[in-house]
Amino acid sequence: MSEFTVILIKELKSIIRDPKILIAMIIVPIVITSVMYLLITQSMKQSITEITRETGTIAVLDLDQSEWSFNLINYLKEKGYTIIETCCIEDIVENIRSNRIDYGLVVLKDFSKNISENKQGLIEIYLSIRSSSMFSIYRDLRLFYSLNDYNRNLSKVIVEKYGLNSSYLFNPVLSYNNIIYKDIQIKLENPVILSTLISSTSFIYPVLVLILSSFLVQLSATSIGVEKEEKMFETLLSLPISRFKLIIVKITASILISLIGLIIYAGLFTWLLSSLINIPSVEQSVDTTVSIDLNELTNLLSKIYGLHDILLVIVCTGVFIILILSLSIITALFTEDVRSAQLTTQYLIIPVMFTMFIAIFTDISSIPIIVKYVLSIIPIANISLIQQFIFSKDYVLVYIVLLSTTIYALVSIYIASKLVSTERVLTFKIFRKKRR
Amino acid sequence: MPVLVVENLRKVFSGGIVALKNISFTVDSGEIYGLVGPNGAGKTTTLRIIATVLEPTSGNVYVNGYSVRDKPNAVRQLISYLPEEAGAYKYLTGYEFLDFIASFYTKNESEKYRMISEAIEISGLGERIGDKIKTYSKGMLRRLLVAKTLMVKPKLALLDEPTSGIDVANSVRIRDIIRKYAREYGVAVLLSSHNMLEVEYLCDRVGIIHNGEIIAEGPPRELIHKHSVRNLEELFVKLTGG
C-alpha cells in the first residue's frame, strides 16, 4: 500500500469510529431530516385534507329569503358546512369570539333581485383568525374559497343562460407560450412553472455549496485538530512521508467522507422534496388536485442546462471544494485541538455564507461586463455566481472562474504543504486553548 | 563514521529566546547517548531538530551523512522518533496503529508483519493489542509508543523520556529492550531523560546540557570519577547548581 492509501485508511477509520463525528455528521442529519419529513409532510397532508374537507359551522342571517339566497345556503350545506340560523349580527360576532361557530354569513336584502337584474348580490362574511400558522390561516379562510367556487359556478350558469361560451367569456384571449432561451425554444402552457424552476436552481445551488462547504471544512479542520489533540502531529512530521502528500491525503479523506455524507443527505433531501412536491398546494387543493411531475421538471431543466453546463458546475464546485479545504487546513494548522480547529472554520464559512446569500438575491445580468470580469476572479464570490454565468451562457466568465479558482486552490495547497514543512505549525499558535 | 553528527547547533526561537548555543556531539552505531539536563535546557529542542520537526538557526545535523537542512526526507527514512508528549490515534486499535507506522518504513508485507510482531513483544500488550488505544492506560500507551519507535530498527532512534509514565518493572524491561536493539541491531540511540539512574544504567555516553550548552560529556563512570562524585545525580546537581 502507498503512504497515501495508508493515511487515507487511517483517516477514514478515525473519522468513522469517532462517535462525535458520526453523531454530528451522519446520525443527527438522518434524524433531523426524518423528523422534518414526518412533521412537514404529515402536517401538510393533514392540514390540506382539513381545508379541502370544507367543514365548519356557519351562522346564517338571511335577510333576503328568496331563490338565490336559498341556492347559496344549499350549496354550502352540500359542501359539508353545518348551517345554523341566527337572529342578528351581534349574535354572530359573539359566537365567533367564543369559538362556538366558525363563520358568519349575512345575505343582504335584494340579493336575489340584484342577481336576477344583472347586478351584484351582496353578502357579508364574518370569520376570525385564530392562529398565525400558515395552514390555520388557510383553514380560517376556507369559506372564502368556497364562496369563490360558488361565484365561478354562478357566473357560468348566468353566462350560459344568455347563450354565451363561458370559457370564451372568462378567457377571451388564450395564449400559446413560447419561451425563447438563447438558441432553444420551449412551448409551455404555463411559463410561470419554468421561471419558478429557474429561480429555484439559482437558490438551490448556493445553498448546496454552503451546506457542502460547512460540512467539508469541519471535517478537514477536525482531521488536523485530531493530530494536534492526540499529540500525533510531531510523530507524523518525523515520518518518511512528503508533507505535500500529507495535505493531499487530508483533503481527499475529507472529500470521501463528505461524499458519503452528501449521498445520505441527497437521498434524504430528494425523498423529502419529492414528498413535498407530490403534496398538492393549498390553492390547488381547493380547486383541483394537480401534482407536478418530477420528470417533466427534469426535462425542462435539461433544455436549459446541458451536460456541458452540468459538468462545468461540477468541476468548478469540485475545485472550489479543494480550495476551501486547503484554506481550512491552513487555519487548523495553527490551532491546538479539535475544538479550536472547528472554531476556525467560521472564518471561512461566514464569507461563503455571505457571498452565497448575496448571489441568491442579486441579478448580475445587467451589470457592466468589466464588473463581471472582476467578480469572476474574486475567490469564493466567483463560485457563488457560477450558476448565473452558466445560465447566461457567459462561458468566458465561467472559464475565468474555473481558472482563477484552480490557481487559488493550487496556491493554497502549496502554502499548506509549505507550512507543514516549517516549524511554524509547532511554534506559532493563533488559536490557543484557554488554560485554567 | 558516526550515525549522528551534531555540529555547532544553534536554535533561536522567535522572540529571541536562545534554546541552543552551538552544541556539538556525535553518536555511533550501536551506541546509546543520553542527553540530560534540567527543564528548558534544550534537550527536546535538540531532539526535534534531529527529527526534522524544527529547523536549526545555524549549524547542522547529519544522520548517516544526510543533512537535516538539505535532505530532511532522507533523514526521516533513517530515524524513528518518540516525542516526550506523544500520543496515538485513540480510535485505532494498538495493532492498527503499529500497522500504520510500519507501512511508512516497508512495503514488504512479511517485513511489516515481523515489525508488528516485534512491537507487540516489546510493548508486552498481549491480547490488548487488539483493543482501541483509547482504552489503554498511560503506561500501556507509552509502551506501545516505545515499541513503534524501535520496531522499525532505525539507524537512529530518538527517545524523549522513553520510560516516562511507565512503572518500575516495565521501565526495566524497556531499558533492556533499548539496550538489546542498540547491541544486536546496531541502532544508534539518542535519549533524553530526567531519570539519572536510567541514564547511568543505560547510556554509553552522556551529555549534560544546561542553558543550551553541553557542559560535560563522556561515559557515566568516567564523568563520576572525573568530578569526584558518587553518581550522576550528584554530578548533575554539582554542574547545574540545583
For residue B67, give the 3-state DSSP assignment. Answer: strand
Instruction: Answer whether B43's CB lies under 8 Å from B34's CB.
Output: no
CATH topology assigned to domain A54-170: abc type-2 transporter like fold (3.40.1710)
The amino acid present at A432, given as its one-letter code, is R
* pTM more than 0.95: no
Which of B103, B144, B161 to substitute to test the interface with A, most A CBs within 10 Å?
B103
Q: Which residues of B touch A1 (CB under 8 A)?
A: 103, 107
Q: For the stretch A152-189, what's the b/e string if a residue is b when 16 or more beta carbons lie within 10 angstroms of its beta carbon?
A: eebeeeebeeeeeeeeeeeeeeeeeeebeeeeeeeeee
Q: Looking at the domain assignment, is residue B165 inside a domain?
A: yes
Domain ranges of chain A: 54-170, 188-427
Range of the structural domain that residue B207 is part of:
4-85+154-240
Other CB atoms within a 10 A radius of the CB of residue A269 amount to: 17
CB contact under 8 A, B89 and A232: yes
In this prediction the ipTM stands at: 0.90
Within a domain: B203:
yes
Other beta carbons within 10 Å of A303: 13
How far does A435 lie from chain B, in Å, by closest CA?
A: 17
Grouping H, G, I as helix, E, B as strand and the rest as coil, residue B21 is strand
For residue B100, give the nearest of A6, A234, A427 by CB distance. A6
Residue numbers in B near A17 (CB within 8 A): 91-92, 132
B104–A422: do the CB atoms touch at under 8 Å?
no
The residue in chain B having the minimum alpha-carbon distance to the alpha carbon of residue A6 is B100
Yes or no, beta carbons of B77 and A427 under 8 Å apart: no
Asked whether the beta carbons of residue A230 and residue B90 sit closer than 8 angstroms, the reply is: yes
Per the CB < 8 Å rule, is A422 touching B55? yes
Is B86 within 8 Å of A1 when comparing Cβ atoms?
A: no
Task: Quote the cell numbers at residue B90.
Answer: 485513540
B203-226, pLDDT tens digit by residue?
A: 999 999 999 999 999 999 999 999
Which residues contact residue A397 at a Cβ distance below 8 angstroms, ignoring those fewer than 6 apart?
A372, A373, A376, A389
A60-73 core/surface letters (b: 16 or more CB in 10 A; e: else): bbbebebebbeebb
* B110 within domain boundaries: no
Q: How many domains does chain B have?
A: 1
CA distance A1 to chain B (A): 7
| Sequential pLDDT tens for chain A (436 residues) | 777 888 888 888 887 888 777 776 667 767 776 777 677 677 767 666 666 665 789 999 999 999 999 999 999 999 889 999 999 999 999 999 888 898 999 999 999 999 988 889 999 999 888 766 666 677 778 888 889 889 988 888 888 888 888 888 878 888 888 888 777 777 777 777 777 777 777 788 888 888 888 878 888 888 888 888 888 888 988 998 887 888 888 888 877 877 777 777 777 767 766 666 565 554 444 444 344 566 766 777 777 888 889 899 999 999 998 899 889 888 888 888 888 888 888 888 888 888 888 888 888 888 899 999 999 999 988 998 998 898 888 999 999 999 999 999 999 988 988 887 777 777 666 555 544 4
Q: What is the CATH number of the domain that holds B232?
A: 3.40.50.300
